[in-house]
Amino acid sequence: MTASPEVHELPTEKAFVLQLTRETGATLKPFAGRVEHVASGRRVRFGNFAAFRAAVARLLTEADTSDTTDRRKP
């Protein structure tokens, strides 16, 4: 059985839910809310785009670290 290209391009381990605040409009100003890593359930709030990017990077790093640790367990 051959996996579709989408399986490799969009892995579920890198899926996120983005929830913006009521005040965030079409111009994305202010850009605030929270982001949730679907696979782990971890959530981080952010108050601007830079903080959003940092939150996603942190969640991906934590997931990679957790995954590596889990693979080392006997």
User: Using one digit for the tens of pLDDT, what is the confidence trace for 41-62?
Assistant: 999 999 999 999 999 999 999 9
- Higher local confidence (pLDDT), 62 or 67: 62
* pLDDT of 65 higher than 90: no
Residue 6 pLDDT > 80, yes or no?
no
What is the average pLDDT value for the chain, to the nearest integer?
86
Nearest to 43 by CA among 29, 31, 58, 32: 58
Helix (H, G, I), strand (E, B) or coil at 1: coil
For the chain, give the percent of residues with pLDDT over 70: 80
Helices and strands, number each (H, E), in the chain:
2, 3
Question: What are the DSSP E strand ranges found in 1-74?
Answer: 16-20, 33-37, 43-46
Q: Tell me, what amino acid is at 14?
A: K
* DSSP code for 40: T
pTM recorded for the entire structure: 0.75
